[in-house]
Amino acid sequence: VEDLETIENKVKEDTLALCGEDETRADLDEYLEGIYLSPALYDRMNEVSVLYQNGFTKLYGENGEKMSDEEALAYLEKNGYLSANHILLMTIDPSSYEALDDETKAAKQAQAAELAAELQGIEDTEARLARFAELKEQFDEDSGKAAYPDGYVFQPGDMVEEFENTVKAPEAFQVSDPVESAYGYHVIMTLPLDPDAVLEYSSGGAAMTARSTAANAAYSEMVDSYVEEQELVYAEGFEKPDLLSFVK
């Protein structure tokens, strides 16, 4: 029953999006035929989508929560992910990307040096993390601070080169000297990989964690492997259509 409701809601959403308000399933079918998609195939696609999601949920949980820490961390390591948090003091105007004046830049550099020195002087890891969070809240000018307060988990090439190279070097929880990039001065704390760290956000605003991303990748690989193993057999007398003839 729940699956049928899911499909029914999908049909309603598509009808509204493709045909407009107050339109019916008949209107949707007419639209589908106009783009060479039969209503029967459309229904089958919706059924397969629900089956696919049900299979994922059974194996990995609704959001991948059944995937173990070890499997999630192995996925991150295999794909070269790095993790770090930073305090960014910007030396450009965030709205125009124009450089700030030299006096302001010098003040930012001095501030970054003070922050780094204070954090480097804290020997206890938990105390350093707590103080880092306080200073980040007070001084960080990164536009991503609200969405990623605990830092970034990223792959090579995702961040500016200066940031990435700094993260590769120190041990976890170490704080760097100020690092200058095109954006400003970064005070960077390297972090260990965390299976529940947020990698990104979906178009709907849902947080995609390392665990959920790893689970989706594993499931997709499993399904692809199954599909590749299948043998496609044509019925006697069937002739493969020349698809190019339909678009000429």
Taking residue 73's Cβ as centre, other Cβ atoms within 10 Å add up to 18
pLDDT at res. 248: 61
pLDDT, averaged per 10 consecutive residues of the chain (248 residues), comes to 92 96 95 94 96 96 96 96 97 94 97 98 97 97 93 95 91 95 97 95 90 96 95 89 76
Tokens of 217: 């990748």
Helix axes 39-60, 2-19, angle to 10 degrees: 130
Predicted structure pTM score: 0.81
Q: Is the dihedral of CA 90, 96, 97, 99 positive or negative?
A: negative
Strand spans (E) along 74-183: 82-90, 152-154, 179-180
